[in-house]
Chains A and B, each alone.
Chain A
Amino acid sequence: MDPLDRYREIIPDFEAFRAVQSLPLYSSARINTLKISRGALLERLEEASVPHQCFSWYPLGLKLDVESPGKLLENLLGFIHIQEELSMAPPLVLDARPGETVLDMCASPGSKTTQISQMMENRGLVVANEPSLARIAALRSNCERLGALNVAITRYDGRMFPRGSFDRVLVDAPCSSEGRERRGPGTLTRCNAARSRELHVLQAGLLKSALRLARPGGVVVYSTCTYAPEENELVVQEAIEGYESGQSGRPALRLERVGLQGLLECPGITEWEGRAFFADMDKTARYYPHINDTGGFFIARIVKE
C-alpha cells in the first residue's frame, strides 16, 4: 500500500504531490557568513564556473548544479555547507539573535546548529545536544569546519535535559522523514502510521521537555521533515496540553503563525481521524514538495508568555 495514500484528504493537489516524489531533488548549500560574505562567495563561484542559482526566499541559500558539491574547495574551507533547501527554514523561524542563549535539542549533524550560530554572528551560546555519541563526531566536525565558535555540545536524552532557561529552543525531531523521499528514494517504504505513532511518543517527550526549558517569553520551534499528522500537529497538541495540565501558575503557551516570505506554506491541519486540535493549529506550517519544488517539512512556533 502507498504510505502516502492516507494523506489524500489533507494534501492539496494530491496527484501532483504523489507524482513529484519520483523527481530527484537538486543539491543545495548555505553560504556560511561566519567565514565569508555572500558577495565574495558568489564571486568565487562565478570565477570557478560553478553553476549555481540563489533561492528566491533566502539570500544565503544556493542551488548547486554540480555532481559532488561536497568536494568543492569552498566546502572544504567551510565557506559553504551542503544543506537541503527546507532544512534552512526552521532556524529562520527560530530567529535567534546575537548574544542569546539557544538550545538545539536534536543537533547532529549540525546544519541547523551552524545556521543558528551564523545568525547569532558567533555571539552568545548555542547548546547543541545530541544523545548519540556516534553522531557527535559529525556535529563537531561541521561546527569546526564552519568556524562556529559559540557552540557547546552536550550529550543528553533531550527528554531529560537537566536544566536551563533558554531564550530559544529548537526541536528538529527524529522523524519518519517522508519529506526526504526525493533525496533518498526508498525512504517511504519504511513509513507507515504505526511507525509514526511510535515516533510520536518520543517527539512529544522532546517537545514537552523543550517547553519546560524555555524561559518565560522564550520561543520554541518544533520541526520535522515528514507529513504524518501523528508526528506533527498531534505532537504539538499533546505537548501543549501536557504542559498546561502540569503545575498551576505556569506561563501560558501561544502558537504563532509560521511564514517565510517567498516560500508557500499550507496551514497545519486542525483535525485528524476525528480528533479536533486547537483552532490555532492552522498557524503551524506544512511545506510540500510539489508547491515549492523542495522536500517536505512541518514547522510550529510556540511562544511561552
Chain B
Amino acid sequence: MPGSLRSRVRNVFLPVNASNVAAMWQERFGMDPEAFSGLQFFKKASSIWAISEADLPRLSYESLGMRIISCKDRPWKPTTAALQVFGRHAAKNLVHLEESQAMLFLQGAGQLLPEYCDSSICEPGYVVVFYRGDVLGCGLYSHGKLVSQIPKERRIESSSGDQL
C-alpha cells in the first residue's frame, strides 16, 4: 500500500555520529562536548534528534527524544527546547535580557539591542537568550536586532501585562 510505504519512509531515523553533533555546538556556542554525554543522535528529514543512550526496540517511531537542530536552512538552527536544556553550557553568543526585553522576546517580537553589535561579544546568527540566569530560548541576532525564535505555542500573549 502506498500509504504505509510513505509512512515508513517518513519515520526513518538515521544514526548520526555524536562527536559531529557536539562539534557543531562547540563551534557556535563554545560548548564542552561533555554536555552531550549519555545521548545518541539521529537524523530524520532535516532535523537532528537527541535521545538518552538505550537499546531502541525495533518499532516505527514518530520521534526519538528531543528535536535539537533544524538543518532546513543554513546556518543550522538550535531549537528552543534544546537550548533550555543545553544552553547553560554555552560560553559564547549569549544575550542577557532585562525584564521588559524578556517580555518582548517571550511574546515572539523583535527588538533592537545595539549593545551586542560588537562581534567579539556576539557573532551574527543564532544566540542563546537568558533572563535572570534562565535560558528563555533561541534568538536570531544580526545588525543590532534580536528576533525571537520562540515557537508560537510557547509564546506569552502580548496582553498579559509587562511583568514576568
Q: Which residues of A contact B (CB under 8 A)?
A: 35, 71, 73, 76-78, 99, 101, 122-125, 127, 136, 140-141, 143-145, 147-156, 162-164
B residues 62-81 near A (Cβ < 8 Å) are 62-67, 79, 81
Contacts of B91 in A (CB 8 A): none
- Among candidates B54, B64, B81, residue contacting A144 with C-beta atoms closer than 8 Å: B81
CB<8 Å pairs between A and B, sample of 27: A35-B84, A71-B157, A76-B106, A76-B156, A99-B54, A101-B54, A122-B52, A123-B38, A125-B54, A136-B63, A140-B63, A143-B63, A144-B66, A145-B81, A145-B154, A147-B85, A149-B39, A150-B51, A150-B52, A150-B65, A151-B65, A152-B63, A153-B62, A153-B63, A156-B59, A163-B57, A163-B59
A149 touches B57 (CB 8 A): no
Give chain A residues whose Cβ lies under 8 Å from the Cβ of B160.
71
- Determine whether B31 belongs to the interface, using a CB cutoff of 8 Å to chain A: no
User: For residue A155, which residues in chain B have a CB less than 8 angstroms away from its CB?
Assistant: 60, 62
> Are A154 and B154 neighbours in the complex by a CB distance under 8 Å?
no
Output the least CB separation between A210 and chain B (Å). Answer: 15
The docked-state distance in angstroms from the alpha carbon of A284 to that of B159 is 47
Name the A residues within 8 Å of B39 (CB-CB).
149
The answer to whether A154 and B52 touch (CB under 8 A), given A35-B84, A147-B81, A149-B39, is no
- For residue A48, which residue of chain B has the nearest CB? B164
Of all A-B residue pairs in the complex, the 9 with the closest CB atoms, nearest first, are A144-B81, A150-B52, A125-B54, A153-B62, A153-B63, A147-B85, A152-B64, A149-B65, A149-B52
Expressed in whole angstroms, the Cα–Cα distance for A11 and B67 within the complex equals: 46
Q: Which residues of A contact B156 (CB under 8 A)?
A: 71, 76
Told that A144-B66, A163-B59 touch, could you supply 15 new A-B pairs with CB distance under 8 A? A73-B164, A101-B55, A123-B52, A125-B56, A141-B154, A143-B63, A143-B66, A145-B81, A147-B81, A148-B66, A150-B52, A155-B60, A156-B59, A162-B59, A163-B58
- Complex Cα distance, B151 from A78, in Å, reads 14
* CB within 8 Å for A152 and B79 given contacts A124-B52, A144-B67: no
Q: In whole angstroms, how far apart are the Cα atoms of A99 and B52 in the complex?
A: 10
Task: Give chain B interface residues in 112-164, CB to chain A under 8 Å.
Answer: 134-136, 153-154, 156-157, 160, 164
Q: Complex Cα distance A228/B67, Å? A: 40
CB–CB A136/B62 < 8 A = yes
When chains A and B are docked, how far (Å) is the Cα of A163 from the Cα of B79? Answer: 32
Which of B52, B63, B66, B156: most chain A CB closer than 10 A? B52
Chain B: which residue is nearest A150 at the CB level?
B52
Tell yes or no: B50 within 8 A of A by CB.
yes
In the complex, what's the smallest C-beta–C-beta distance from A245 to chain B, in angstroms?
A: 27
Q: How far is the CA of A150 from the CA of B64 in the complex (A)?
A: 8
* With contact pairs A125-B54, A144-B67 given, residues A154 and B153 touching in the complex (Cβ less than 8 Å): no
Which residues of A are found within 8 Å of B59, using beta-carbon distances?
127, 152, 154, 156, 162-164
- Shortest distance between the CB of A125 and any CB in chain B (Å): 4
Interface centre among B50, B66, B135, B160 (most CB of A within 10 A): B66
Q: Which of A76, A99, A122 contacts B154 (CB 8 A)?
A: A76
Set of chain A residues within 8 Å of B60, measured between Cβ atoms: 154-156
Q: Could you tell me the distance in whole angstroms from the C-beta of A86 to the nearest C-beta in chain B?
A: 26
- Bound-state Cα–Cα, A99 to B62, Å: 22
Q: Is the CB of B81 within 8 A of A164?
A: no
Give Cα A77–Cα B135 distance, bound, in whole angstroms. Answer: 8
